[in-house]
Amino acid sequence: MATVYRCGLLIDGRGEEPLRNASIFVESGRVKEVLLAGSGVPEGVDVVDLSGCAVVPGLIDMHVHCDYWYSQPNVAEYLESDAMVACLAARNIRFSLERGITTLRDVSSGVGLQMRRAVQMGHLPGSRIFTAAKGICMTGGHGSSIIRGVREADGPEDVRKAVREQVKAGADLIKLLSSHRSETPEFRQEELDAGVDEAHRLGYRVACHAGIMPSSKMAVLAGVDTLEHGTHLTDEAREMMAKAGTYLIPTMIAYHSMAEATRRMLQQSDSGGDYRRTTLGKYADWWLKTDDMLESQFRKAAAMGLKIAAGTDIVIPEVEFAPLHTEMEMMVKFGYGELKTICAATRVASEALGKSQDLGTIEKGKIADFVAVEGSPLDDISNLRKVKMVVKDGRVEVPVPVPYYRWS
């Protein structure tokens, strides 16, 4: 099975000048060759004409929770039923695929392992999933209230055990959570050290949730591979990250949309007094302060040359699952070039995943994941929203073929 996709503009994810009128020769799910303009089409292959489109590598969202249901209006139904949770996750991963996000890094969820398998088996159309299985936090720590999605662990040996449990369950990576919305770090240094050491010893990468300064620094010292959020970094911490090669996943859209919701709620309620007494409302000042810092924090990380990969995180009911396009638009608005931003959601993300041998760029030998869009995203990054075709594993996934069964 071989197909040639003729592209108007090919942005291959390596960060170089785009190619005009090149073609992607796909065979058995992989890129056999990128054919430059003017090369002949091999005989006996199907040709798909995308000459009116720009083509980029399949996007990678580095921070999702594929089944997050706490922001749904009917929480009780999800609380009662694992099937409801799985249905929500199935909807989410199909939705992300349709928008050109061919890969998700699921940094803790209750059904990530099952969703990964269901997509592999062809039971569900959906983005490819790499999952941390359950996240690991201290007893009562950030995320501990998330039923099914988190394992509480205390003390270095228990943290090691929790890591082993995720490996046993089939996780692709390990997720540690080490801060909440205050200045107090959660895991102690020796617990973080033990978690990272155990994961690395067994050959797994570590993503660490750290939104505040002390825990961010502790996570970098422990040697985590990706720092999730890192919203309150200092120059010293950024220098440590640059030196250690730690990836930053800023997830700005999560904080920005929470701040927007907070502003709305404060306006609506009795001078904000009522809202401030709710579970989320007591963090109102935290969201507002963090939102104010997003741009300067991002610009400093970029200026320092940190490795930045794009991710989104769970947000609020008004915001779609995996709002990666919005995150990328924020990156461009904050001075990151369009090409660099595309790389942050493709090649750099694949490197942070440890999967750059297969994913992240459109190059000979790689898995054939790409998205055709109308208009060049180099002129306007939001053109990535105008999806015309999504190819994953060398198969056209969007428009999604309607499954049809013949009964005999």
Listed residue (57, 12, 30, 10) closest to 395, CA to CA? 30
Up-side HSE of residue 71: CA atoms within 13 Å toward CB?
Answer: 18
Count of CB atoms situated within 10 Å of the CB of 101: 28
* Least distance CB 208 / Zn ion (angstroms): 11
Q: What are the residues binding Zn ion (CB under 5 A)?
A: 313
Nearest to 126 by CA among 102, 160, 159: 102
**Least spacing, CB of residue 325 vs Zn ion, in Å:** 18
Tokens 């750059």, residue located: 356
For residues 48 and 210, which CB has a smaller minimum distance to Zn ion in the complex?
210
Beta-strand runs (E) in 28-179: 30-35, 46-57, 59-64, 101-106, 128-131, 135-137, 150-152, 174-177
d(CA 209, CA 229): 7
Please report how close the Cβ of residue 134 comes to Zn ion at its closest, in angstroms. Answer: 13
Backbone phi, psi, residue 32, to 5° = -85, -30
Nearest approach, Cβ of residue 199 and Zn ion (Å)? 18
**Residue 12 DSSP label:** -
63 vs 392 by CB, closer to Zn ion: 63
Nearest approach, Cβ of residue 314 and Zn ion (Å): 6
179 vs 383 by CB, closer to Zn ion? 179
Which one, 61 or 313, has the nearer CB to Zn ion?
313
Compare residues 291 and 313 and give the one whose CB is closer to Zn ion.
313
Alpha helices in 304-395 (DSSP H): 324-333, 338-344, 347-353
Shortest Å distance, C-beta 65 to Zn ion: 6
Nearer to Zn ion, 30 or 181 (CB): 181
Tell me how far apart the alpha carbons of residues 163 and 171 are, in angstroms, rounded to a whole number. 9
Distances, alpha carbon 184 to alpha carbons 189, 192, 218, 280, in Å = 13, 15, 12, 18
Task: Report which residue's Cβ sits closest to Zn ion.
Answer: 313
* CB 225, min distance to Zn ion, A: 16
Min. distance of Cβ 254 from Zn ion in angstroms? Answer: 7
Shortest Å distance, C-beta 175 to Zn ion: 8
Contact between residue 216 and residue 232 where contact means Cβ atoms under 8 Å apart: yes
Question: What minimum distance in Å lies between the beta carbon of 278 and Zn ion?
Answer: 21
Q: Which is nearer to Zn ion, 313 or 329 (CB)?
A: 313
Cβ distance 87 to 124 under 8 Å?
Answer: no
Q: Quote the CA–CA distance of 286 and 304 in Å, as a whole number.
A: 25
| 228 vs 329, beta carbon nearer Zn ion | 228
- Could you write out the three-class secondary structure of 291-324? HHHHHHHHHHHHHCCCEECCCCCCCCCCCCCCCH
- State which residue, 312 or 383, has the beta carbon closest to Zn ion: 312
C-alpha distance from residue 264 to each of 74, 177, 289, 323 (Å): 21, 29, 15, 20
Looking at 52-140, list the stretches that DSSP marks H as alpha helix, in order from N- to C-terminal side.
75-80, 82-98, 112-121
- In the complex with Zn ion, the residue whose CB is nearer, 158 or 313, is 313
Q: With CA atoms as reference, report the closest residue to 130 among 320, 354, 397, 325.
A: 354
Provide the 10 A C-beta neighbour count for residue 240. 16
